[in-house]
Amino acid sequence: MTRTVTGDDLAGALDALRTQVPLVHSLTNIVSANFLTNVVLAAGASNAHIDNVHEAAGFARIAGGVLVNLGTPDDGTAAAFMLAAEAAHDAGTPWVLDPVGVGGLPWRSGLALDLLKHRPTAIRGNASEIIALAGLGGDTRGVDSADDSAAAVPAALALLDHADAVSASGPVDHLVGRDSDGTVIGVRIAGGSDMLPRVTSTGCSLGGLVAAYLAVSPTPLIGLAAAHAHVAVASEIAEATSSGPGSFAVAYLDALHSVDPSTLADRARLETLELSGVGGTR
C-alpha cells in the first residue's frame, strides 16, 4: 500500500503545535509581516520578525523554526537571510524557503539558489516559483502563478535534492517529501477558499505556519501538510461567515484559532499523490 499523510497525522501535528507553542523566526517581506504574525498567533504558535544582520543568525539558532521569504529583499535583508539560513542549518533548526517572485527577477533568483546551499527543511511556493527554482522554466507573473500546481510536481521532486519536503500551492496543493524511512511520497490537499488570493499575505503567512509546524512534527512532510490543511479548512470556515475580503480576513484569523485537531482531521481533503512514472522520482 502506498504510504501517505493521514488525518491522524494532521491532528497530532496540531495538538503538538498547541501544546508546545513553537517560536517562529520570520524573515519576511514588509507587506506580510503583520498579517503573518497574526496568522501564526491565531493558529497557536508564536512569531518574532528579526531580519537584521546583527541578530538573524543568533535568533535562528534558538527559534523553533525559521522562515526566509524573498518578497521584498534588499542588500541588508539578503545578507540576513544567508546568515539565518546558515545558522539554522548548522543548529538543526528547521527552516522554510519561500521563493517569492523567483524566475521573473534575476537577482532574487540567484539569492534563492544561494540559499539552497544551506538546505531548507521545506520549500513552499506557487507552481511557477517551484518550477523556476528547479530550473525547469515556468511563467512567473510577479508573485502570482501562471502554472498549475500539478505541473510543478516534477520540479518539486527535483528540489528534494536540496530540501526534505516541497509544496506547490494552487486550487489543489501538491506536496512531496520523505517518509520517516526516507521513502519519497506525495499528497494532494484540496479545498480552501477563493477569498484567500483576495487578501494580501495569505500565501506568505502560510510560510510562517509551515515553519511553526516543522518545529513540532515527526517529519517535514507531515508539518508541511498540516500547515496547508489548516489553512484550507480555516479558510472554508471563514468564507461561510464573511461577506467580502475585509470580513474574510478577520474571520480567517478566528477560524485558524477555532479549528481543533479533530476538525482538522475530519475536514482536510487529503489524497495520495501517485509518483510512479513521474519524472524525478528516486
- Say if residues 115 and 162 touch (Cβ distance below 8 Å): no
pLDDT for 152: 94
What is the pLDDT at residue 104? 83
Cα distances (angstroms) measured from residue 11 to each of 16, 67, 76, 118, 205: 9, 23, 39, 30, 20
**Of all helices (H) and strands (E), which one includes residue 220?**
helix 220-240
Q: Which three cell numbers stand for residue 59?
A: 535568533
| Burial status of residue 65 (CB atoms within 10 A of its CB: 0-12, 13-18, 19 or more) | buried
What is the reported pLDDT for 4? 85
Q: Which among 26, 30, 31 is positioned nearest to 200, based on CA atoms?
A: 31
Residue 278 has a pLDDT of 59
Largest CA distance in the chain: 50
Q: What is the pTM of this model?
A: 0.93
Q: Which domains does the chain have, with CATH numbers?
A: 7-272 (3.40.1190.20)
Distance (Å, whole) CA 198 – CA 222: 27
Cell of 123: 520549500
Q: How far is CA 82 from the centre of its chain?
A: 19
Concatenating the DSSP letter of every residue in 117-160 gives TT--SEEEEEHHHHHHHTTS---EETTEE-S-GGGGHHHHHHGG
Mean pLDDT by 10 residues, the chain (282 residues): 83 98 97 97 98 98 98 96 98 98 92 97 96 72 59 96 96 94 94 96 97 98 98 98 97 98 98 73 42
